[in-house]
Amino acid sequence: MENQKLENLLNLSLQATPEEREQSQNLESGYQEATRTWELIVKYHGNLQQAASEAIQIEELLAGYAIVQIPEQLINAFSILEQVEYIEKPKRLFFE
């Protein structure tokens, strides 16, 4: 079952094979293949710094948002934290 706190595109990216991710810029954005980590945008409430560790780096922003660098295998465990409301991938911007 898909994690309801994760954006649909993030759920899809986590289920995709490395080859499928490489073929799609949308699925690959935020993923660091060399370290198998993700840079994610998190909506939270309360204190998120309790979850910070050597493996999980958290940069708190304004209005209950944070940017989190997290290993792929820890995303589901991180998402079940009470403070975490929603997690999404960064999006690529294209300028004309």
Class in CATH terms, 8-88: alpha beta
Taking the C-alpha atoms of residue 85 and residue 8, their distance in angstroms, rounded to an integer, is 14
Provide the pLDDT for residue 77.
Answer: 93
Please report, as a single letter, which amino acid is at residue 73: Q
CA distance 26 to 49: 29
Q: How far apart are CA 63 and CA 4, in angstroms?
A: 22
Q: What is the pLDDT of residue 2?
A: 64
Q: What is the pLDDT of residue 22?
A: 84
- 81 contacts: CB under 8 Å, gap ≥ 6: 48, 51
Which amino acid makes up residue 3? N
pLDDT of residue 35: 93
Per-residue pLDDT tens listing for the chain (96 residues)? 567 899 999 999 999 888 888 888 788 889 998 999 999 999 999 999 888 899 999 999 999 999 999 999 999 999 999 999 999 999 887 777
pLDDT of residue 44: 96
